[in-house]
Amino acid sequence: AIDSIILTMEAVIYEKDLTLDYEIEPNLTVSGSSEQMKQVAMILLDNAIKYSNPQGTIQVTLKRHHGHIQLTVCNTGAGIPAEHLDKIFDRFYRVDSSRARKNGGYGLGLAIAKSIVEQHKGKISAKSVPNEKTTFVVQLD
Ligand code: ATP
């Protein structure tokens, strides 16, 4: 399923000249709604593309990790300053509204992703090295 999401975004990836690496373990299943989990992957990948620098790199992994299923989406780019990291999951929160505004969006994507992940009793978190890279980690049973 995640492969098909990547396919739908191929055009933008090409346009920004991004490199996409992915490591996807076959036959992983998550309990709950796969449509909703697809939406989470879509939100994270869409952000990775939007906030990546041109010629940047995006890495996606989906694998078993310490008995959980873990999805990570990492992109190179400006990143998120530490003081904003816990707020980006709030509704309508955007880090730099002038920079962010030209990328469209309302600041809802991550709030939706968080609510879906929590409904599935999972966890979502972000870490970022400013001016280097940002990584989102989703952990599910
Ligand atoms: P949309 O509602 O279309 O998703 P959005 O991208 O602004 O709009 P969120 O997905 O909720 O909303 O993201 C919130 C904010 O977090 C973004 O405005 C951006 O500032 C920051 N952000 C999210 N992902 C990244 C990323 N990969 N790199 C840098 N900043 C990010």
C-alpha distances in Å from residue 94, one per residue of 49, 81, 87, 133, 136: 16, 12, 8, 17, 16
C-alpha distances in Å from residue 132, one per residue of 20, 50, 76, 78, 126: 16, 15, 6, 6, 14
- If pLDDT is split at 50, 70 and 90, which confidence band does 7 have? confident
The residue ranking higher by pLDDT, 70 or 14, is: 70
Mean pLDDT of the chain: 89
Whole-angstrom distance between the N-terminal and C-terminal Cα of the chain?
A: 18
pLDDT above 60 (res 73): yes
The residue ranking higher by pLDDT, 1 or 105, is: 105
- If pLDDT is split at 50, 70 and 90, which confidence band does 124 have? very high
Residue type, 46: D
pLDDT above 60 (res 100): no
Sequence-ordered list of residues with C-beta below 8 angstroms from that of 112, at least 6 positions apart, any chain = 39, 43
Question: pLDDT tens digits, residue range 43-63?
Answer: 999 999 999 999 999 999 999
Q: Specify the residue with its C-alpha closest to ligand 1, atom 1.
A: 105
- Ligand 1 pocket check: which of 40, 86, 88 to mutate, most ligand atoms within 8 Å of Cβ? 88
How many CA atoms does the CB half-sphere of 26 hold within 13 Å? 0
Of 61, 63, 114, nearest in space to 89 by CA:
114
- Name which of 22-31, 62-71, 130-139 the model is least confident about: 22-31
The residue ranking higher by pLDDT, 102 or 68, is: 68
- Ligand 1 pocket check: which of 43, 47, 90 to mutate, most ligand atoms within 8 Å of Cβ? 47
